[in-house]
Amino acid sequence: MSVAQTINPGVSFRSMVVKPPSHPTYDMKGVIKLALAEDAGDRGDVTCLATIPFDMEVEAHFLAKEDGIVAGISLAEMIFHEVDPSLKVEWSQKDGDYVQKGLQFGKVSGQAHNIVVAERVVLNFMQRMSGIATLTKTMADAARPACILETRKTAPGLRLVDKWAVLIGGGRNHRMGLFDMVMIKDNHISIAGGIINAIKSVDQYLEQQNLQMEVEVETRTLEEVDEVLRYTSQTKSSLTRIMLDNMVIPLPNGDVDVSMLKDAVEMINRRFETEASGNVTLETVHKIGQTGVTYISSGALTHSVKALDISLKIDTELALQVGRRTKRA
């Protein structure tokens, strides 16, 4: 089942500012149900059951507690719809918008019990996605003219959610999984007996299976780059991209030497897409992007994410008072 097929009917797929990436088996609705189920356990919200009259209705407001790019608005609507389709959700911002600390950017109204039940699951997704989108936006702007990519270093079970946040932040998606792109890495090369053997095996496999897809090979030295270029100049190959791994060299003063990466890009001379990987940080990404490389991949976008602080408050005036006292609003 495709992602589009698992989107709740209460949310218009066409109205999404940034649609989730495509995946043949990912069950978004199932992920939402699992998140709600692990919170509810076998008893439900015992605090709500004890303190909130079931028929009470309230209005709760989303509050940004720090500056950043908001993401997960469409997913939040799906979660609220899953808990209670009668809940009304309104937004003054959309996925990908910049929010400032203290801004109320959305509200949900309806049965208090159901709003509070959905609250933490909604915020867990939104805070994580907003953190990813915020870092992606900063790195994507710094990387230009290169495009920033994430990797498969995502939270287990949240692959599509994490990659959706990257898109919202202005990045591009690398391969979704093991199925949609051939990526020949160091272990494949070692097992195959060399980089050319690995490329030959991939070419044969794709031809035998009548498959057409992107093929990337990891290179770690200029000699490997030259070996790949010589082979592909003499033989028809399915190769589309060359990864230039760890060709950004850290220096003792905190700077980086990108001369090896630049040499590799010049050697390839646009015959293939190029991807820089390794030692990619907020401090180095701009310099890497100036080498002429096509893509820059960063696992940190998703594996080291700092969540953006967002809250959902019914008594917003008191929440702002507390926020000012703690310097969080």
Please indicate, yes or no, if residue 225 is contained in any of the structural domains: yes
Same domain, 183 and 276: yes
Same domain, 313 and 299: no
Residue 236 marked ligand-binding: no
Same domain, 205 and 321: no
Q: From CA 126, how far away is CA 129, in angstroms rounded?
A: 5
212: Cβ contacts below 8 Å, ≥ 6 apart = 206, 238
Please indicate, yes or no, if residue 22 is contained in any of the structural domains: no
Please indicate, yes or no, if residue 167 is contained in any of the structural domains: no
Residue 25 marked ligand-binding: no
Task: Spell out the SS3 assignment of the chain.
Answer: CCHHHHCCCCCCHHHCCCCCCCCCCCCHHHHHHHHHHHHHCCCCCHHHHHHCCCCCEEEEEEEECCCEECCCHHHHHHHHHHHCCCCEEEECCCCCCEECCCCEEEEEEEEHHHHHHHHHHHHHHHHHHHHHHHHHHHHHHHHCCCEEECCCCCCCCCHHHHHHHHHHCCCECCCCCCCCCEEECHHHHHHHCCHHHHHHHHHHHHHHHCCCCCEEEEECCHHHHHHHHHHHHHCCCCCCEEEEECCCEECCCCCEECHHHHHHHHHHCCCCEEEEECCCCCCCHHHHHCCCCCEEECCHHHHCCCCCCEEEECCHHHHHHHHHHCCCC
Same domain, 225 and 263: yes
Tokens representing residue 84 in the block: 């209670």
Same domain, 206 and 296: yes
Please indicate, yes or no, if residue 122 is contained in any of the structural domains: yes
Tell me the catalytic residues: 120, 153, 185, 216, 245
CB 235 within 8 A of CB 197: no
Please indicate, yes or no, if residue 165 is contained in any of the structural domains: no
Tokens representing residue 53 in the block: 């009259």
Q: How many domains does the chain have?
A: 2
Same domain, 186 and 290: yes
Please indicate, yes or no, if residue 21 is contained in any of the structural domains: no
Same domain, 39 and 80: yes
Residue 133 marked ligand-binding: no
> How high is the pLDDT of residue 325?
78
Distances (CA, A) of 173 to 9, 186, 266, 270: 26, 22, 25, 21
Residue 187 marked ligand-binding: no
Please indicate, yes or no, if residue 166 is contained in any of the structural domains: no
Q: In terms of pTM, does the model score above 0.75?
A: yes
> How high is the pLDDT of residue 327?
73
> How high is the pLDDT of residue 320?
64
For residue 234, the enclosing domain spans: 176-304
Q: At how many degrees (to 10) do helices 112-143 and 28-40 cross?
A: 130
Cross-strand pairs, 103: none
What CATH number is given to the structural domain containing 125? Answer: 3.90.1170.20
Same domain, 247 and 134: no
Name residues of the chain where pLDDT drops below 50. Answer: 1-2, 9, 13-15
Residue 277 marked ligand-binding: yes
